[in-house]
Structure 1
Amino acid sequence: MAIIALAFGGLCLWSASGLLKGLYWLCWASFMSNALLRLAACIIRPAKEAPLDPMTEAVNENLPSYSVIIALYKEASIVPQLLRAMRALDYPRDRLEILFALEADDTETLTAFQRHPLPAFMRVIAVPQGFPRTKPRALNHALEQARGDLIVIYDAEDQPHPAQLREAAKVFAKGDTTLACLQAPLRPIGGSSFIARQFAAEYAVQFDVLLPALHALHLPFPLGGTSNHFKSDILRAIGGWDAFNVTEDADLGLRLAQLGYKTGMITSPTLETPPSLSQAWIPQRTRWIKGYMQTFLVHTRLNTPFQPRAWLGLFLGVALSVAAAVCYAPFSLLVITSLLLTGLQTIGDAAHPLHIVSIHDLALFFLGTLSGMITIALAARRAGLRLKWGDVLGAPAYWCLQSVAAGFAVWQLIAKPFHWDKTEHTPVTFAVQPLYEDGPYAYGLEHDHYRQPNHLAHQSLG
């Protein structure tokens, strides 16, 4: 970064106007690429695999051992829901272990676990105090004690499809030795606020349009922070998670690519609760954008091996996301203000209209906004997400909020780069109910999410 800063300063002294013009067209091309990426992703059809039906699969034949790791901090209220979701996993108990990694001083959550006697395949692990106090550090501590051939990461509020472990094990069993990780789609449900609806739409775009497109193009992609399934020997060989990166998932997916490994996707989803208020959403989004910035800085160091696939995935999946978050609100404000001023000037003096922004800026603004809305509409269909056209048309307001979070992210990256903004979770009513007497697993009694292919009944965009 110091070399880049010196080069930038030298070019400014040599030809400031030429440099600024070059930077303008570089930014313009980057943002246009972001818009075109979304349109291209809409055209690329994700590979369809027959969903796994555990009732027709061989029950216990040749299944590898599995470790489930869940890092928790101050999550006492959600423990009963979490235990129900984990008990609902359809996997042989003699080949399954579930590790709950708690910070050693989190006595409230530990007490909550003590109220619920754990079966033999579940255990609580105390993470000793240390620096930094982050989720990836807790995951690394649990990884040292995990015994499974495969490892999956869940968050405290997650409710994975009961057959998810079986599907991942089946894909890994196909024998691709370079396949290191499988990502399950995430489905935020349970919120009705503007933030919650937009958050769910954003996840649908990410997990049902963008990531499947990158996967279809054999490009690496930033992993989601949960429902990542790993081969444990590969995960240990690359050193686990970066404890100092606050989006350890994005970093890990790209690091795997740098080292020659591949990531893939499965179809069985994980349900989770979205943030409903801006007070919860902004700190969470600030952490994500800051982590993407950290990931970009780490993976563009001069000592990073040049892997074309990894660098292209870094640009498409990380760099463009950060740039869009930082610039969307200021750029939109500039375009809208210029259009208003041009209209007012034309009324007052039609012979001398203002031209604050160029036709290229207008084309970028309208194509970028339109491509985002088209992607949301398609993603909602693929995910079975209940959205109305008002949600699609209101997306630009949500994108502007991203710029607010990006501003906080830039400040935190400088002032407190390893600070972890904790997201508060509350129990919800769509929990999977473990009624084992009726079969290997049963489903939510009130909301039958997992019985149908599109478990969120969709309307309005159909």
Structure 2
Amino acid sequence: MAALYREATILPQLVQRLSLIDYPADALECFLLLEIDDTETIAVARSLRLPPWMSVVVVPAGSPKTKPRALNYGLGLASGTFLTIYDAEDSPDPAQLKEAASRFLAEPSDTRRPLACLQAPLRIGRKHKAAISSDILDRQFAAEYAGLFEVILPGMARLGLPFPLGGTSNHFRVETLRRIGGWDAYNVTEDADLGFRLWRDGWSLGTISSPTWETPPGRFKLWLPQRTRWLKGFMQTLAVHLFKPGLGFKGLWAMLTTLIAGLVAASIHGYALATITMIALLGILSFEIPQLQISAFAVMITGYIASWMTCIVGTRRIGLTYGAKEFALAPLYWGLLTLAFFHALVRLVFQPHTWDKTPHMPDVPVADLHTPIIRPRYSEATAGREAA
């Protein structure tokens, strides 16, 4: 399923990319979920020559008008055993569905926590040079995704921990989704909520290796609403799950190291960075050694090193380089999260269920989506992966 809203421009590209999926056509069913008032996207969808297994589903009017509400409507129509979610700008690896189905079928039936969901890695590719492109933000965004989807989530899955899902390329058991009531239509990061809700209900999460390529949000005025929505959804997810029994030690630990740590870091990083900078400048101007509390400075440096290493390892795992420029600008990028945090806090109070939509534009040509934003490391190993 792909829940779309005001995506008339990019819809033909999505249909083209989903048509490349390598899976028996008679075992596929695809719903393009469109809102009833989105007449432009509906018109474009009905004008396209869709594969026989792909259909347009118009979601009736209702509230809230969010992606998870549309997905819940589609869930009621789904007839398959497994269900995959894609977004408008996605370019999934054609073999992704086969890998996911194989993993589900290979899962032992007597395991204590049956496998409910598999998360595919999301990778950021270069979009065409248009007005919404922002090279510095795009490169930091790509490195951030590499650290999350190539290092953190696979590591948590290996440790048997729950984790907040990505908003796309999730592979589910349909029966399980229906049993837990589908998505929370009021949570603007329904994916984060669902990961912990599945865990609470006795299921486990995993990851696969076949990626989905996406485009970055673009310049700052587009990046900020997207990150605001994520942080606001993290707050909503914490409000729902943190004090409710059933998560257990592993669930609480996972929530602490993902949602809570992410929110705390976002809330104070800009302030801490500004404070350190001002202390250093005052020390230079007064020709004195800056007076820093060693323990606080050590915590900050340790956090920086951990974040840098996550990005370095993540980008190298997919054959990219986290260069000196990305390394140096990363603290400034992380500092922007403080602005997004307080923006999210205000929105949570006054517009808790408003969905901040990120506009998407098609790429030209299609192959350009697989051109990495961060310069590739040319080596025999990289060449071998590309040839494969």
Question: In the alignment, what sits opposite 1:185?
Answer: 121
- 1:448 Cα shift? 6.9
TM-score (structure 2 length as normaliser)? 0.90
1:392 and 1:456, CA in 2 relative to 1: closer, same or farther beyond 3 A? closer
SS of the equivalent of 2:338 reads helix
SS of the equivalent of 1:394 reads helix
- 1:407 Cα shift? 1.1
Partner Cα distance (2:181, 2:239) in 1: 19
Where does 1:31-430 land on structure 2 (aligned, <5 Å)? 69-177=1-109, 178-191=114-127, 193-301=135-243, 303-345=244-286, 347=287, 355=291, 357-429=292-364
Query: Which letter maps to 2:256?
Result: F
- Which structure: larger Rg? 1
Partner Cα distance (1:252, 1:268) in 2: 22
8 Å CA contact 1:152–1:230 kept in 2: the answer is: yes
Query: Which letter maps to 1:155?
Result: D
- 1:99 Cα shift? 0.3
Instruction: Structure 1 unaligned segments of length 5 or more: list them.
Output: 1-68, 432-443
8 Å CA contact 1:388–1:460 kept in 2: the answer is: no
Query: Which letter maps to 2:361?
Result: T
Instruction: Structure 2 unaligned segments of length 5 or more: list them.
Output: 128-133, 383-388
1:364 and 1:248, CA in 2 relative to 1: closer, same or farther beyond 3 A? same
Where does 1:412-451 land on structure 2 (aligned, <5 Å)? 412-429=347-364, 431=366, 444=367
8 Å CA contact 1:389–1:460 kept in 2: the answer is: no
Partner Cα distance (1:304, 1:286) in 2: 28
Partner Cα distance (2:354, 2:126) in 1: 28
Question: In the alignment, what sits opposite 1:8?
Answer: none
Query: Which letter maps to 1:236?
Result: R
Partner Cα distance (1:218, 1:393) in 2: 34
8 Å CA contact 1:246–1:290 kept in 2: the answer is: yes
TM-score (structure 1 length as normaliser)? 0.76
Partner Cα distance (1:363, 1:162) in 2: 45
Moved segments of 4+, more than 6 Å: 446-449, 454-457
Aligned CA RMSD, in angstroms, stands at 2.1
Partner Cα distance (2:101, 2:198) in 1: 19
- 1:117 Cα shift? 2.5
8 Å CA contact 1:71–1:135 kept in 2: the answer is: yes
- 1:149 Cα shift? 0.2
1:228 and 1:306, CA in 2 relative to 1: closer, same or farther beyond 3 A? closer
- 1:379 Cα shift? 1.3
8 Å CA contact 2:126–2:373 kept in 1: the answer is: no
Question: In the alignment, what sits opposite 2:385?
Answer: none
Partner Cα distance (2:175, 2:305) in 1: 44
Question: In the alignment, what sits opposite 1:458?
Answer: 376
1:306 and 1:97, CA in 2 relative to 1: closer, same or farther beyond 3 A? closer
8 Å CA contact 1:137–1:241 kept in 2: the answer is: yes
Query: Which letter maps to 1:73?
Result: Y
Equivalent pairs, count: 370
